[in-house]
Amino acid sequence: MTTSGPGEATIGDVAREAGVSVSTVSYALSGKRPISEATRQRIQSAVDRLGYRPHAGARALASRRTHVLALVAPLRVDVNVSVILQFVAGVVTRARSHDLDVLLLTNDDPHSLDRVASGSMVDAAIVMDVEREDPRLPELRAMRQPAVLIGLPDDPGPLACVDLDFVSVGRQAVAHLAAAGRRRIGLIGAAPTVLARRTSFAERLMRGYGEAVARLDAPALAVAAQGSRGGGISAVTELLEREPALDALVVHNELAVPGVVEALRRAGREDVALVLVCPADLVGSVPVDCDWIEVPGARIGEIAVDMVTAQLAGATGPEVRLLEPTVRAHRLNP
């Protein structure tokens, strides 16, 4: 006889409904001991009728899964936290659609993931802020759990990767400006500390930019900028001193954008064309006409979850997936 409503049943209720002991139900749910198929089916039928929800620990034992993803997102002082959180939101939202929870690791210790992975606390890992020769790679390659990198190191080996194709971003930004007749094209890039770490996305965009201006037989006019209004002002000032005929800028530094716009206005150089590389929500607040290439953080986070769950299901092996950029227009009076 059913003694509890759906969602309220206990393991004792399941045992009574199935006509077995509580320990037998526990063994059937955890898989710790073999149970006859007939008994297992009787227990499962009782679970279904009562709407019993096993404790999370029992579910993990039964499936040998924790249903938890580790997301490594170091919150360093030189990163734009609002941009990082767009990636995090994409991961968390898509993880819930797969019935997964997310364990967020924000410290800068390369061994933090090893502690949770070796203890079987997580089923898989997604790792952000990837460097070209990332110190976390050896431990990631040694993990028994699958991992997906948001970023592209020089040698990913057996690890899956997803990111915006930043080399193509640099090339497309320059090609777009060149098609509009611009020939003295500068780049305001990531903060010096980001470049000093050889962060993958920053160096790949620099490489694409350098290749594109070389094909134009034009000078490379790149400067790293602090991620601030002051950093943007200083970067524009330096570039105008180096190249007074500067006629276009690619800006890959979200926090420096207000300073870039202000410095161009102060110098009477509103004629300098801009291509911003940034998330979509930043563009709406830019007070001048410009073109832009989206950094789709949430979308990349969603794809990372899909890739790692496909690996968990055995559907795919490691792959590298780079999203193709698109240049778009931002006009104040369209």
Q: What is the pLDDT of residues 136-189, one digit of tens each?
A: 998 898 888 999 999 999 999 999 999 999 999 999 999 999 999 999 999 999
Round to whole Å and give the CA distance between 291 and 249: 10
Round to whole Å and give the CA distance between 250 and 107: 31
Round to whole Å and give the CA distance between 245 and 272: 10
- The tokens for 271 are 């004629």
For the segment 205-214, the average pLDDT, to the nearest whole number, is 98
pLDDT band with cut points at 50, 70 and 90 for residue 114: confident
The domains found in the chain, sorted by start residue, are: 11-63 (1.10.260.40), 68-164+298-325 (3.40.50.2300), 166-294 (3.40.50.2300)
For the segment 228-244, the average pLDDT, to the nearest whole number, is 97
- The tokens for 109 are 């210790």
Whether 109 has a pLDDT exceeding 80, the answer reads no
Whether 300 has a pLDDT exceeding 70, the answer reads yes
Q: Residue 291 is which amino acid?
A: D
Query: Of 293, 105, 133, 127, which is closest to residue 200 (Cα–Cα)?
Result: 133
Q: What is the per-residue pLDDT for 32?
A: 53
Whether 5 has a pLDDT exceeding 90, the answer reads no
Average pLDDT, whole number, for the chain? 89
